[in-house]
Amino acid sequence: MDRAEYARIMSKYTVLFVDDDDGITENLARVYKRYFKEVYTAANGLLGIEQYEKYKPDLVITDVTMPKCDGIKMATEIKKADPELKVIFSSGHNEEDFIKEFEKFGGFYLTKPMDMATLLNLILVVLKEEQ
């Protein structure tokens, strides 16, 4: 599947990237704008919850360790209001510590740095668009 095909499928959806590294969210937004209908960003969990409530994105891709409110806390909080939440976790290291937590949200996760091809495939799986 070439990139244009991914873009065609994913262009129906909106996505929220949550990462405390501004440089990363900025670059991710720039790259994934080509694929998604809309890309939203947030610098931490609290802002992520705000953005989610505001835009109700179809997918959340979030860092795990973040100041103030980490990815898992944020996901737990969002899921209380919206059980349909679709989320992919990305973690820098020690993801083993969180696997049990990830299970509660479908168990989708990637290790940083994320490989784009892998992420694109995973996004399709999560969005149940893989066929």
Partner 1 sequence: MRLSVKSINYILSIFMLFIFGLFFLFSLLHDKSTIAIVDDFYEHPFKVSMAAVRMRSDFRTMWEISTSDVAGEVDTANTKLELKSLENDILAEMDVVKNRYLGPKEDIENVFNSYDQYRTLLHTAMDINEKKGNKEALKYLEENEAKEKLRELVENSSVIVNYAQNKAIFFRAKADSQLESYIYTSLVICLVVVGLFLAAAFFAMRYINKRFAEIHDALLQVDNGKLVDIEVRKYDIKEFADIKASIAQMAERLEGSYKTISEQAVELEVSLEQAREANERMMEQSREIEETNVELESVNEELSATNAAIRDQARELHESEDRLRESQQIAKIGSWTYFVEDDRFEVSDVASDIIGGFDEYYAAFSDAELLVREGDRKFFRDTFGAAITSKEPFYMTVATSSQEEPKYLSIRGKCVCDDTGKVASMVGTLQDITQIQKANELQNALINNNAMCIFLASQDRKIMKANERGCEMFGYDRTELEGADFSLIHTDMESFLAFANEYSKLRDGGLTNIRYRMRKKDGSIFWCSVSGAPLDTSDLSKGVIWTLLDIDDTVLLEGSYKDFFNSIQYSMYVLDLDKNFIEINSGFTAMHGFGAEEIIGKNVIEIIDCSKNDIEQINRYYDLAISGEPQTFEFWSVDKNGKSFPKEVSIARGKFVYKDAIVTIGLDITRQKQLEENLQTLVDEETRKRMEREHMLVQQSRLAIMGEMISNIAHQWRQPLNQISVLKDGLVDDYYFKDLNDAKMEHFNSSVTENLRYMSVTIDDFRNFFRPDKDKTEFSVVESINQAVSLVKDSMQSLDIDISKKFDSADMRIFGYQNEFAQAIINILSNARDALKANNDADNRQIEIGVHGQGGVVSITIQDNAGGIKSDVVDRIFDPYFTTKHKSQGTGLGLYMSKMIIEQNLGGKLTVANKNNGACFLIELAISKTGETNG
What does the binding site for partner 1 look like in residue numbers (CB under 8 A)?
A: 2-4, 21, 23-24, 27-28, 30-31, 34, 65, 67-68, 92-93, 112-116
Query: For the chain, what is the radius of gyration of the CA atoms?
Result: 13
For the chain, give the longest Cα–Cα distance: 39
- Give min distance, CB of 57 to partner 1, in A: 19
Q: Are 119 and 89 in contact (CB under 8 A)?
A: no
CA-nearest of 115, 118, 127, 130 to 36 is 127
Q: Between 73 and 79, whose beta carbon lies closer to partner 1?
A: 73
Q: Between 96 and 103, whose beta carbon lies closer to partner 1?
A: 96
Rounded Cα–Cα distance for residues 6 and 17 (Å):
18
Tokens of 73: 């806390």
- Give min distance, CB of 70 to partner 1, in A: 8
Q: Between 34 and 54, whose beta carbon lies closer to partner 1?
A: 34
Q: Between 92 and 107, whose beta carbon lies closer to partner 1?
A: 92
- Give min distance, CB of 83 to partner 1, in A: 27
